Amino acid sequence: MAIFRAHEVRQLSDVELGEQLQKLKLDLMQSRGKVSAGGAPENPGHIRVVRRTIARIITEQNARRTKQA
């Protein structure tokens, strides 16, 4: 799964932001499911990175919404 930095998130369109957000949320849910089932994650820091990327996307969406209003 692609991890985006803030400057990369700003370059995405609104539609692309929504698509990436859905993909990342699915990835996070799957990763958390593996951990809760007792399995060891492949990359222990992956959940943290995905959560931060989701936060970046949501922050950018909110900024665009307030800019339009």
Q: How far is CA 14 from CA 29, 32, 37, 46, in A?
A: 23, 27, 35, 25
Overall average pLDDT of the 23-39 stretch:
92
Domains parsed from the chain with CATH numbers:
6-68 (1.10.287.310)
pTM above 0.85, yes or no: yes
End-to-end CA distance of the chain: 32
The per-residue pLDDT for 69 is 74
Pull the structure tokens for residue 16: 């692309």
* Res. 41: pLDDT tops 80: no
* Res. 68: pLDDT tops 90: no
* Res. 38: pLDDT tops 90: no
Q: Maximum CA pair distance of the chain?
A: 46
Tens digits of residue pLDDT in 48-63: 999 999 999 999 999 9
Distance of CA 1 to the CA centre of its chain: 9
Q: How far is CA 16 from CA 35, 42, 56, in A?
A: 29, 27, 14
